Amino acid sequence: MNFEIIPFLSMNGKAAAAIEFYEKYLGANVLFKKNYKEMKEMNPHFSYEEDQDQYITHSVLEIGANKLMIAEEEMDSSRPWQLGNSSSLCIQSQDTNVITHLYKSLVQHKDVTIVVPLKKNTFSPGYAIIRDPFGIVIQLCVTVHDF
């Protein structure tokens, strides 16, 4: 199977500043970045507060040989954002079958919680969020990007 696991940081309004920091101090290369205003153009149902046009809905950075994803929102909205529960893992592949297989495998475990079931959304033909038995939030994403 061809997929990768990428750390995902939820920054609660500070994603743009974090991206700038990683660019300046770690030489990060921004592979992808979309803000709330751009997301609203893609999906008219996407809503946000008036002063949040430049908030980041999703980004992918390359730092050295690694990738890092950064956005504003927490992945498990059943728990309030706080430092310490603001990270998740993102498993992504361009192969829908790979993501579907991994999702079906994970949700077989009795202690896995489905936060968002696997389905198509605005940015992916297949996206899900689960919480594993150890409390780790895992996103599964069929990516349409080539990074």
pLDDT at position 84 is: 62
Domain that holds residue 4: 1-76
Quote the CA–CA distance of 85 and 80 in Å, as a whole number: 8
The backbone region for 135, taken as left when phi is positive above 0, alpha when psi lies in -120 to 50, beta otherwise, is left
H helix or E strand, kind and range, residue 99: helix 96-106
The residues with which 140 forms a beta bridge, in sequence order, are: 91, 128
- CATH number for position 57: 3.10.180.10
Mean pLDDT value across residues 7-32: 92
Phi/psi for 122 (5° steps) reads -60, -35
Domain boundary among 76, 97, 130: 76
pLDDT at position 127 is: 97
Q: Based on the fold, state whether residues 55 and 95 are members of the same structural domain.
A: no
Mean pLDDT of all residues belonging to the chain: 90
Query: Which residue matches tokens 């949040």?
Result: 52
Torsion (CA) 4, 28, 84, 133 in degrees, nearest 10: 0
Output the CA–CA distances (angstroms, integers) from residue 13 to 48, 55, 70, 116, 117, in the order listed: 12, 6, 11, 22, 26
Q: Based on the fold, state whether residues 87 and 56 are members of the same structural domain.
A: no
Q: Based on the fold, state whether residues 39 and 107 are members of the same structural domain.
A: no
Output the CA–CA distances (angstroms, integers) from residue 36 to 47, 59, 81, 115, in the order listed: 8, 12, 18, 22
Q: Give the pTM.
A: 0.74
Q: Based on the fold, state whether residues 4 and 70 are members of the same structural domain.
A: yes
Quote the CA–CA distance of 110 and 50 in Å, as a whole number: 41
Lowest-confidence segment of 3-12, 62-71, 83-92, 101-110 by average pLDDT: 83-92
Beta strand pairing call for 4-10 and 66-71: parallel
pLDDT at position 147 is: 66
Instruction: Express as a percent the part of the chain with pLDDT over 70.
Output: 97
Number of domains forming the structure of the chain = 2
